[in-house]
Amino acid sequence: MKTDGPAESSAGEAAPPVLREARPALRIKDMELSERPRERLARLGARSLSAPELVAILLRTGTRRRNVIRVAEELLANYDYLSDLAQATREEIQQIPGIGRDKAVTLSAAFELARRMAEEKRGEKPLLDTPDKITDLLREETRHLTAEQFFVVLLNSRRRLIRVEKLSQGTLDTLLVHPRDVFRAAILARAAAVVLAHNHPSGDPAPSEADIRVTRDLIRAGQIMKIEVLDHVILGHRLEGRERDFLSLRELGYFHS
C-alpha cells in the first residue's frame, strides 16, 4: 500500500534519501558560438569580457562535471582581488579542482607579464611633445658648451624618448649635418619621429640662415624616409628681457611650406 511518508526500513527507521547525481555543466563547445569566451573576445574585445571569462580563456578546458567558466569562477571566489590571485603560488592555485600544473603555470605567466608591464609604465621614458620639454631635457648638457653641438632626439610613436644622439660639434656653417647620419640613427633606434636641437654658445637662440637651411633639408629627407621631423629647437641662455632661453623653428613658422 502506498503511503505519504518516507519509506521505512525493516527496523522502523526512515530510509536515507536517494541522492541524484549532479548534471554536468554545459560544456563550452555546447554553448552558442557567439557566447563562447574566445568568440566574444574576438568579436567585442577583451574589455567586454568578465574576469571569469578571461581566466577561462587562459585555462582552456574544464572538467567532466564543470565547464571551464565554472572552474574560473571557483578560482576567483577564493580571492578578494585579482592582485591576490596574482600573488598566489602555483601550489595554492592547484588546490582548485580542475586546475593542474600546466594551467597554474599559464596563469603565473600571464600575471608575470602584467607585472612587467606595470614596471615598464612606472619607468616609462618622458613625453617630449613640446619645445619646452626638449629644452628641459638638454639644458644642463648644453649650458657650459663653448661650441655648437648638434643633437637628434629620437622618439617613439607616442612621442616618448628613445634616446638622444650627438652628431657633430662646431657650427652649422662649418659642419656637415648630413641627412644620412641623422636618419641612420633614427632607423637603428626604430624611431617614429625626431626632434633636431643644437645650442648657441653666444646665448642668443635666434636661427641663422644655416640653421634654417639645414632644418628644411632634414624635413624633406624625413618625408622621404617616413620619419617625421617634429621641430628644431635652438638653445641659448636666459637673459634679462628674454622670456625663454630657446626658440622653436616650428613655432617660428619654418616648418610650413
Query: Could you tell me the domains of the chain?
Result: 28-122 (1.10.150), 131-248 (3.40.140.10)
Phi-psi region of 124 (alpha: psi -120 to 50; beta: other; left: phi over 0): beta
CB 161 within 8 A of CB 137: yes
CA dist., res. 228 & res. 190, Å (int): 12
C-alpha cell at 228: 617625421
CA dist., res. 142 & res. 134, Å (int): 12
CB 154 within 8 A of CB 194: yes
Amino acid of residue 114 = A
Q: How far is CA 232 from CA 135, 175, 213, in A?
A: 11, 17, 11
CA dist., res. 163 & res. 174, Å (int): 26
C-alpha cell at 162: 628613445
Residue 156's contacts (CB-CB under 8 Å, 6 or more residues apart) are 125, 162, 190, 191, 192
- What is the pLDDT, as a whole number, of residue 211? 92
Question: Going by DSSP bridges, is the β-strand pair 228-235/246-248 parallel, antiparallel, or unpaired?
Answer: antiparallel
- What is the pLDDT, as a whole number, of residue 173? 53
Neighbouring-strand partners of residue 151: 166, 197
C-alpha cell at 201: 654658445
- What is the pLDDT, as a whole number, of residue 26? 62
- What is the pLDDT, as a whole number, of residue 145? 86
Question: Block means of pLDDT (10 residues each) for the chain, length 257 residues?
Answer: 48 52 60 82 93 95 91 95 90 95 96 84 85 94 87 96 86 68 94 96 92 94 96 89 89 86
C-alpha cell at 49: 569580457
Q: How far is CA 166 from CA 107, 148, 150, 216, in A?
A: 44, 11, 6, 19
